[in-house]
Amino acid sequence: MIEVLPRNIMRFITLVIFQVFILNNIQFLGYINPYIYVLFILLLPFETPKWFLLVAAFTLGIAIDLFSHTPGLHSSATVFMAFLRPFVLSHFAPRDGYEPGTFPRIHYYGFSWFFKYASILIVSHHLILFFMEVFHFHNPFFTLWRALLSSGFSILLVVLSQYFIYRR
């Protein structure tokens, strides 16, 4: 865990800066808001303790909240995603478990595994985020539509990042 700490600190800073200064300024057709900062939680090592996962998720979410002027929205959705992560990982675990020294990436476990893993966590994050943002169920299909479109775009960006940024 200690040997990957500097890499994860740099990933944290890079993703927050990229999200805040570039992606927060992108909104397609009033529906799609890409959120790639969740990649930080997705790519943490398998051995990450649950308490650290939740603290890291809260720190990531509150950093996005501070820059986005959305007190608590991103932090609560990101903590929820981090809470679900161990359950999702255990559900998709290979029969012999995860290989030591590997990470949750396309390179190690393939496209299908990573796509299912990332999709479940990203969709759950986005559903919590968008429904908390509107904080009512007046027009739930509009909110659901926004969450699913944004999830799809975020999943696309996360998968593409696996091929172009995190190749090995």
| Structural domain boundaries in the chain | 2-164
pLDDT computed for residue 1 by the predictor: 55
Give the tens place of pLDDT for each residue, 19-63: 999 988 877 776 788 899 999 999 999 989 999 999 999 999 999
Distance between CA atoms of 144 and 159, rounded to whole angstroms?
A: 22
The DSSP result for 82-97, as a single string, is HHHHHHHHHHT--TT-
pLDDT computed for residue 140 by the predictor: 85
Q: Are 11 and 43 in contact (CB under 8 A)?
A: yes
Name the pTM for this structure. 0.92
- pLDDT surpasses 70 at 86: yes
